Amino acid sequence: MIVELRGVCHGYRRGADLVEVLGGVDLCLDPGDFVAVMGASGTGKSTLLHILGCLLRPAGGSYLLDGEQLQGRPERELAALRSRRIAHVFQMFYLLPHLDVVQNVALPFLYQEGLSRSEVRYRVDDAIDRVGLGQRRKHRPAELSGGELQRVAIARALAPRPDLILADEPTGNLDARTGGDILDLFQAMNDDGHTIVMVTHDRHVASRAGRLVTLRDGTLHDG
């Protein structure tokens, strides 16, 4: 099993109150699973992805990644795991405004050792071509459309070929055709054995995944 969440809880402070968002989430993923997560706005889907991506420590419960317990591990170990194994396509793109497309997509490789410069260059160019931005390599974020920004963020996540891909509404800003191309890309990554968790509000998009779960009242339900 690549991911094993047991009884994961999390909440946020709102003034003096602690508002519970996740109230005991269980989720098991085998390598090569492709899971869609649905649920109403504000139910905690992004929170769940942040926990899966080791960006947020859950307030309770346990998270085993590849059989290793993550609870209590120091931040630098989580950061290393993240850069080696996990990619996150965020709802907000977090692209660096002063860098062009190639430089943004190459960012994750700054934290990855053991790859030659030519291999990095190949993976970056390949990812940019796959999202259809070959003609935009030298553009900076301010010179790109919303859908193009989304595709840069996807290229950046996929270029290092991570084991676990977490995508928060990856087709939310795209027209049907480009969205379809991006889903084909996820499908191809999944066929190559990458595990994918994708949040979406669109049933048609969700149907491309092998499994659907819905977040409701703080817990995950099948279907």
Ligand X SMILES: Nc1ncnc2c1ncn2[C@@H]1O[C@H](COP(=O)(O)OP(=O)(O)OP(=O)(O)O)[C@@H](O)[C@H]1O
Question: Residue numbers of the site for Mg ion (CB under 5 A)?
Answer: 46
CB count in 10 Å sphere of residue 149? 18
Phi/psi of residue 129, each to 5°?
A: -65, -40
Instruction: Kindly state whether residue 42 participates in binding ligand X, applying the rule CB under 6 A.
Output: yes
| Cα–Cα distance measured from residue 80 to residue 36, given in angstroms and rounded to the nearest whole number | 26
Instruction: Kindly state whether residue 72 participates in binding ligand X, applying the rule CB under 6 A.
Output: no
Instruction: Kindly state whether residue 41 participates in binding ligand X, applying the rule CB under 6 A.
Output: yes
Output 19 or 176, the one with its CB closest to ligand X: 19
Output 46 or 195, the one with its CB closest to Mg ion: 46
Residues 43, 10: contact at Cβ < 8 Å? Answer: no
| Cα–Cα distance measured from residue 106 to residue 112, given in angstroms and rounded to the nearest whole number | 10
Q: How far is the CB of 47 from Mg ion (least distance, A)?
A: 8
Using the contact rule CB under 6 A, the part of the chain among 43-51, 140-148, 179-187, 204-212 near ligand X is: 43-51
* Site mask for ligand X (CB under 6 A), range 78-97, x = bound: -------------x------
Q: How far is the CB of 153 from Mg ion (least distance, A)?
A: 14
Q: How far is the CB of 49 from Mg ion (least distance, A)?
A: 8
3-state secondary structure 31-61: CCCEEEEECCCCCCHHHHHHHHCCCCCCCEE
CB count in 10 Å sphere of residue 69? 11
Q: How far is the CB of 11 from ligand X (least distance, A)?
A: 8
Instruction: Kindly state whether residue 47 participates in binding ligand X, applying the rule CB under 6 A.
Output: yes
Output 39 or 170, the one with its CB closest to ligand X: 39
Instruction: Kindly state whether residue 111 participates in binding ligand X, applying the rule CB under 6 A.
Output: no
Cα→Cα distances 17→14, 20, 48, 50, 51, Å: 5, 9, 21, 22, 21
- Kind plus residue range of the DSSP H or E element containing 214: strand 211-216
Task: List CB contacts of 220: < 8 A, sequence separation 6 or more.
Answer: 25, 26, 27, 37, 213, 214
Q: How far is the CB of 204 from ligand X (least distance, A)?
A: 17
Q: How far is the CB of 68 from ligand X (least distance, A)?
A: 25
Binding site for ligand X (CB under 6 A): 12, 21, 39, 41-47, 91
